[in-house]
Structure 1
Amino acid sequence: MKRTALLILAAVTFAASLPAQTPRKHALLDEGWKFHLGHAADASTDFNFTIANLFSKTGKATGTAIDPTFDDQSWTSITLPHDWAVALPFENSDNADVLGHGYKPVGGLYPRNSIGWYRKAFTIVPADSGKRFSVQFDGVFRDCQVWMNGFYLGRNESGYVGFEYDITDYIRFTQENVLVVRVDASQYEGWFYEGAGIYRHVWLNESESVHIPSGGVFFHSKVTGGEATVSVHTTVVNDGLKDEWVSVQTYITDRNGKVITKSEEEGSSFVPAQAGIRSHVELTLKNAHLWSLEDPYLYKVVNVVRQNGRVIDQDRQRLGVRTVVIDAATGLSLNGKRIKIQGVNCHQDHAGVGLAQPDYLHYYRIRRLQELGVNAYRTSHHAPTPELLDACDSLGMLVLDEARLLSSSREYQDQFRRLIERDRNHPSVFLWSIGNEEGYAQTNSIGKRIALSMLALQRQYDSTRTSTYAADLGNVFTGVNEVIPIRGFNYREKHVVAYHRDHPGQPIVGTEMGSTVTTRGIYAIDSVKGYLPDQDITAPWWASTAEAWWPLAAENDWFMGGFVWTGFDYRGEPTPFQWPNISSHFGIMDVCGFPKNIYYYYQSWWTNKDVLHISPHWNWKGREGRNIDVWVNSNADQVELFLNGKSLGKKAMVRNRHLQWSVPYRAGTLAAVATKQGRTFRTQVQTTDAPYALELSTERTTVLADGRDAAVVDVLVKDKRGREVPDAGNLVRFSVQGDARVIGVGNGDPSSHEPDQCAPGAWQRSLFNGKCQVIIQTGKTVGAIRLEATGEGLRPAAVTIQATAEK
């Protein structure tokens, strides 16, 4: 029987040092994998998986790729994360799901591409016998089965929630161990690009039999004045075969590791074999340094497990002390400061790499969003990768963390529980979402009952937060909406005022707002190529432009704000087009993170920066004398527009709007001069000459030589006078010198069928409206990395990045 020890201890503040590091190990298992496609409909090319009687006897694996002695030398060597779908060619299809997934030939219609086999050999030294071992997968798309040395571990059905298996009983200490994963991407889970494969990290965990399990620590804080009380709940399990006595002690350190406070050292607690105990301590932080969007300060909570005075386990997690209040009349407050949600929805693919993003890319994308003025991120519609939440914690970004499906079945309740236990200690997570647009259930009694079950589970595992649900409904108060604590609106912004009038006690947030469809650098509809004008003018029937929803949110205190659909373009869902379109148009930025013009609308009203932006570009040869529709986005008080020095008039800048002029085209300089609170600033666009020279830029001049770090390099072209050419389409080729490799290229063209992943030594990409992007990943050698770009008739360019020893 499991026993529970409940300890509420006073905190003691003093200078002290933490105990030496724990015997626990958490080692990446990303390198040295072998990969081969299988076949969902042909057993002979699926390594006999469906015809071998694998489950008749424990450990039976003979004649299949599961067999530890199987020869995989001819398989492809890979390093995780890995998305095999991104490297597949595009393939036209009339099937709606294939369209939604970006015309990649994966899924039930493509059995030849929908099974992937992974094998990993590794050793464990005999000195570690007696320890507990587990293998942890952060994310695999989709259905996967796992074997260790031929012994079956289990099946995971979610493409997004991580999972873990204890492998202690199957370890071999005198020869190699072989981990085998069969991934089946035949079944889609979403209606957008989902990739295929082991696209997140894999870890090998090692601990004593008595240890803190994954998800076994839950902490939260309450702030009163300048003082914070931190409640820490810790579970310790005994996976061994004999009863043990242990003690648990909790420390809080500052960001540099200095102990600020710790619990009193408790006496030993009895932990029965195959059972566990729980402890609860409350620690006080005087003059607490709060976590905020502007100053995302992170403490550390360290739980130490001792046995006879010896440290046998130690769990370290980051703590952000903050207070979140959501009120129906005043919206969201963080640490007593009212905040309007300026959010975006995002899927998790990026140009060039698909879902298999190096950790750095998550930080890169969050910083790009913050430059725009975004303060909140909705993980639509799935559990995010842990590194994304780490980035949001570190950089100061709120997160709406979403369950994949509205369902109270055992499988989906388990997925929701795993999501909450994994993510509940992240200060960035301020709200849960129990689902999105469940048309078959959201308005009926079934949906209401499911929602009540999910809300009960959420409160069981995290009573400090509440939930919303993303409803594509107007002024409707049935089903899920009757019981959801916070009403989420997907579009339907015209009904928000009436809904608030009829239900004034229910807070409102826009879970999906806007959804303008635009193509970067394009200024006319092209239904053949699948392009849309790069202005805030076109939206699907269910959605709206930016200017239709944001003023409503900005001007009403009870409207918490909302999440734009979407922050970045993503693969699949090429609304309103089909083939040759292979990615969406919804993004404020394209799939590379290059801004579209709508970016500057939001930046004008979401930041305190001086924003002044003219669109379109001024290269319109052949259209002399014809009127060009000119937009100016700014947060100034007044803007005056000039063409070749001649004033085209002044206009007052109405808050949360934009300005427009109709200008007869003449080559030259189109300039805008803005005045704001007595200050003047200006910008201009010019007619350029032909492309002349390539230019490379990156935010990183130093990277880690750890085999995992990465750098994003943007590519553009300039004319002889050094002006960026906005409509260039030159083909650019790349080469790398030093210990690094290119892992992906992209350009933001939603109809480009160029490969995102090229053969070694043959990396290339065309510019799309003047830009493209290349992503490089480091090796393990310290030294200079030089990326060179060349193009026919263009002056080449290079950038040098220094790879340094890991800190």
Structure 2
Amino acid sequence: MIKTYTLIFISLFSAAISKAQNNEGREITPFDKAWLFYQGDASGADKTGFADTQWQKIDVPHDWSIFGTYDKNNPTGRGGGYLPAGIGWYRKHFEMDVADAQKLVSIEFDGVMANSDVWINGYHLGKRPYGYISFAYDLTGHLNFGKGKTNIIAVRADNEVQPASRYYTGAGIYRHVRLIVTNPVHIEHWGVFVTTPKVSPEKAVVHVKTTIVNTSKAKVSAAVFVNILDETGKVALAGKYDPAGHDIAPGKSATVEGDYEVRNPTLWSPQHPALYKAIVKVSSGAKTFDSETVPFGIRTAEFTADKGFVLNGKKLMIKGVCLHHDGGALGAAVPLRVWERRLQLLKDIGVNGIRTSHNPVAPEFLDLCDRMGFVVMDENFDTWEANKVRGAGGYDKFFKEWGLTDTKDMVLRDRNHPSIVIYSIGNEIHDNLGDSSGFKKYRDMQDLIHQTDGTRPVTMALFRPNVSKVYDNGFAKMMDVVGQNYRENELVDAHTAHPDWKVIGTENGHTLTAWLSLRDHEYVAGQFLWTGVDYLGEADWPNVVNGQALLDRTGGSRPLSYQRESWWSDKPVVHIVRKRDDAAASPMVADWTPADISNYTMARVSVYSNCDEVELFLNGKSLGTKPKPADDSPRDWTMPFEKGTIKAVGKNKGKIVQTDELKTAGQPAKILLTVDKSKIANIWDDVAYVTATVVDANGVPCPNGNHVIDFNITGPGVITVTDNGDLANHDAFPLHARHTYRGKCIAIIKGSAIGKAIIKATSQGLADGTITVDIVK
């Protein structure tokens, strides 16, 4: 009756799969397949008898906006990346087993963009304006049961009022959906809360709080049993609390709490993100009413006024980045593998923290942060009641009615994630924070979070606090942790004036000055760079992508990422970059092939490195050795340009530990295909990135020129989208032909069946490239 998936890649898909497994007394069905979609408004589409046979057949997650045409005149404008907006309808026909007729049935959406209305068999279940929030509706009493008796879920997503955001939102049912069947006596939605109030190397106290709801017509006596599994799946503790049971009257609920001791716990940390599981069962005698499996981590996390952020008793400098929720060419409907790849690339640079700017993310993203060892600032809003430029049709219209509800739902959903160490309740809020109303908005949300999750502090990203006087008027004083965007030295000055304050950089630039404000002040808990990966929108035409990140939206590295790696990585780092043009103000590039080689006379070279000393060679001749500057600035050389090879050699204590080498490319000769993952599962959440690089006859990448690469696939796979790193690329993403940008472009591959998929790339005047991807169960 309930479909489950087979787990193939445990490290990637454990969170997504867990949502498809059944717990005793609870059945969870993935509800992503076989929806019908119509772009536009459709009068009467909420009714069961509506004719939808001509609608498009799709699966969700689905972002219809990303498949639209870029147009400078689209009402989404600069914020929405000039992509289309409007109204979209979704309908799904399904049957329910007659065995479920006496049970409770609910539907859970991880996110619908935006202003969603949902109906079941013509009955209006409710409306949620905020497109980033997860929500559920009870379908009980509105369903038909038995073979041949159809039910219809209808969803209307309204993104017509624009501009609604300063960055790309997507449109439609862009996150996962599931159907949940429980008994009348069941665990409340998001009703299990696991904390670790006491932790030491010898033992940890695990506190489990469970809310049980009785919707039956009779009083029940229910007891809660808890088993705790360690990271290997072995039973770390088996026990029971509330042994006598708890009487719950019809229509009432009860909250049951208990403590357990886990001996010799493995603590969660970025270096070892160990995850335990609490299996919580609600039973009466031999009957199990309901059960849930909740992953959690055992760790302590504290923000302090003198040491900054302390994890498990040790200072941890949060080296973070801000991330928006889109996946580049895939829009807002992002397979989990995309995030795993991006997070691994960031981790390789030395990043250990993520700020979810500026909204709740998909729940599986947080699962991934748990497993990969990132600390997270979980953020709710970009606006309160005052709107922002290019966002006049946004959430500010709904904050007064929905702000506290959406905040509570975010915290209830997310509070079991060990990766989350702090909540943020706003980004550069433009409401008046100098009067009682501004104080109240902040305090109401902070108090609500403390009531819902008393284990984590609250901050917000303050906007020009010296200008708004929030450092002086008492506003900052009531914050658990004072967060500020940019102007890093102002935050240092604020702490100097108020040494009892706990402080963090909530949004920061890439400059050396910004880095030193963190490096040289132990009390600053960390920084979150703007940004980790390029994102759609917030760009001035002809650009449609914001390009301030360490990585471009395809995952390609920039000189910024090389510099940051030299500051943040614990491994030896050496990277060569040069000024692109003769002009000193030109940007840095990481190649030795000038576009106009005949007029490129003087090369201005920088080496980003954390090594004790770096020696630079040009065509085998040493250009000298330079020690590591005390202020972490790059080591610079200027020399007449020569074709050939430039090489940097990094040494620690006189021993070579790392090198980097760039070569001058000859004429473009062929396409080199590489893939980030040669084996993928035939499920929605897995993809492979195939990169086409134009190289010369010797395999040296050719960064210049403009080639059109045609991607083709044979076998059980599909080319979902193609893309490049160009900020002004206006070509539709589903096209299989893509211009190269700095010599590269990508195709994202998904499986359609089991077997070998062969990807071929062709371009006029270049030798073809081919590569194989195995599609497995």
Given the two structures, how large is their TM-score scaled by the length of structure 1?
A: 0.86
2:190 to 215, 218, 229: 215
CA distance in 2, matches of 1:81, 1:732: 28
Deviations 1:419-442 (A, max 9, x none): 000000000000001111112223
**Cα RMSD between the aligned structures?**
1.8
CA distance in 2, matches of 1:652, 1:460: 53
Residue 478 of structure 2 aligns to which amino acid in structure 1? V
What corresponds to 1:720 in structure 2? 697
What corresponds to 2:130 in structure 1? 158
CA contact (8 A) 1:782 1:804 kept: yes
Deviation at 1:21, TM superposition (A): 4.5
Structure 1 residue 590 corresponds to structure 2 residue 590 = no
Deviation at 1:782, TM superposition (A): 2.5
CA distance in 1, matches of 2:606, 2:759: 37
CA contact (8 A) 2:74 2:84 kept: no
Give SS of 2:226's match.
Answer: strand
Identity %: 34
424-433 or 694-703, which deviates more: 694-703
1:446 to 411, 431, 437: 437
Structure 1 residues 269, 482: closer, same or farther in 2, change over 3 A? same
What corresponds to 1:527 in structure 2? none
1:300 to 277, 285, 288: 277
Give SS of 1:416's match.
Answer: helix
CA distance in 2, matches of 1:451, 1:479: 12
Residue 133 of structure 1 aligns to which amino acid in structure 2? V
1:39-58 equivalence runs, <5 A: 46-48=41-43
What corresponds to 1:425 in structure 2? 416
CA contact (8 A) 2:224 2:240 kept: no
CA contact (8 A) 2:23 2:292 kept: no
1:396-411 equivalence runs, <5 A: 396-404=373-381, 405-406=383-384, 409-411=400-402
Deviation at 1:215, TM superposition (A): 1.1
Residue 497 of structure 1 aligns to which amino acid in structure 2? V
Deviation at 1:216, TM superposition (A): 0.1
Structure 1 residues 24, 733: closer, same or farther in 2, change over 3 A? same
CA contact (8 A) 1:625 1:666 kept: no
Deviations 1:119-145 (A, max 9, x none): 111111112211110010001111010
1:118 to 90, 93, 97: 90
2:78 to 99, 102, 107: 99
Give SS of 1:796's match.
Answer: strand
Structure 1 residues 116, 750: closer, same or farther in 2, change over 3 A? same
Residue 428 of structure 1 aligns to which amino acid in structure 2? S
What corresponds to 1:658 in structure 2? 634
What corresponds to 1:248 in structure 2? 224
What corresponds to 1:137 in structure 2? 109
737-746 or 352-361, which deviates more: 737-746
Runs of 4+ in 1 over 4 A off after TM superposition: 405-408
CA distance in 2, matches of 1:473, 1:732: 46
Deviations 1:105-125 (A, max 9, x none): 32xxxxxxx000101111111
Structure 1 residues 627, 152: closer, same or farther in 2, change over 3 A? same
Structure 1 residue 645 corresponds to structure 2 residue 606 = no
CA contact (8 A) 2:551 2:561 kept: yes
2:54 to 74, 91, 96: 74
Deviation at 1:323, TM superposition (A): 0.6
1:342 to 296, 307, 319: 319
CA distance in 2, matches of 1:81, 1:298: 27
- Figure out how many residues of one structure are paired with residues of the other and give that number: 718
Structure 1 residue 611 corresponds to structure 2 residue 576 = no
Give SS of 2:344's match.
Answer: helix
CA distance in 1, matches of 2:529, 2:516: 13
CA distance in 2, matches of 1:150, 1:101: 33
What corresponds to 2:144 in structure 1? 172
Give SS of 1:169's match.
Answer: coil
What corresponds to 2:746 in structure 1? 773
Deviation at 1:682, TM superposition (A): 2.5
Structure 1 residues 474, 629: closer, same or farther in 2, change over 3 A? farther
Give SS of 2:425's match.
Answer: strand
What corresponds to 1:786 in structure 2? 758
Deviation at 1:494, TM superposition (A): 2.8
What corresponds to 1:495 in structure 2? 490
Give SS of 1:777's match.
Answer: strand
CA distance in 2, matches of 1:258, 1:716: 46
What are the ranges of 5 or more consecutive residues in structure 2 without an aligned counterpart? 1-21, 386-398, 578-588
CA distance in 2, matches of 1:92, 1:306: 60
CA contact (8 A) 1:218 1:232 kept: yes
Give SS of 1:449's match.
Answer: helix
CA distance in 1, matches of 2:249, 2:423: 35
CA distance in 1, matches of 2:474, 2:83: 36
What corresponds to 2:36 in structure 1? 34
CA distance in 2, matches of 1:118, 1:306: 38
2:515 to 526, 550, 574: 550
1:181 to 146, 155, 158: 155
Structure 1 residue 204 corresponds to structure 2 residue 183 = no
617-626 or 26-35, which deviates more: 617-626
Residue 583 of structure 1 aligns to which amino acid in structure 2? V
Deviations 1:525-562 (A, max 9, x none): xxxxxxxxxxxxxxxxxxxx421200120111111120
CA distance in 2, matches of 1:433, 1:791: 48
CA distance in 2, matches of 1:348, 1:292: 24
CA contact (8 A) 2:206 2:262 kept: yes
CA distance in 2, matches of 1:236, 1:276: 5
Residue 516 of structure 2 aligns to which amino acid in structure 1? P
1:280 to 250, 257, 264: 257
1:481 to 476, 481, 494: 476
Deviation at 1:465, TM superposition (A): 0.8
CA distance in 1, matches of 2:438, 2:771: 55
Deviation at 1:622, TM superposition (A): 3.7
250-259 or 597-606, which deviates more: 250-259
Structure 1 residues 717, 272: closer, same or farther in 2, change over 3 A? same
CA contact (8 A) 2:74 2:82 kept: no
What corresponds to 2:535 in structure 1? 570
What corresponds to 1:467 in structure 2? 458
CA distance in 1, matches of 2:749, 2:142: 38
Give SS of 2:190's match.
Answer: coil
Deviation at 1:94, TM superposition (A): 9.3
Residue 53 of structure 2 aligns to which amino acid in structure 1? Q
CA distance in 2, matches of 1:625, 1:264: 75
What corresponds to 1:561 in structure 2? 526
CA contact (8 A) 1:717 1:728 kept: no
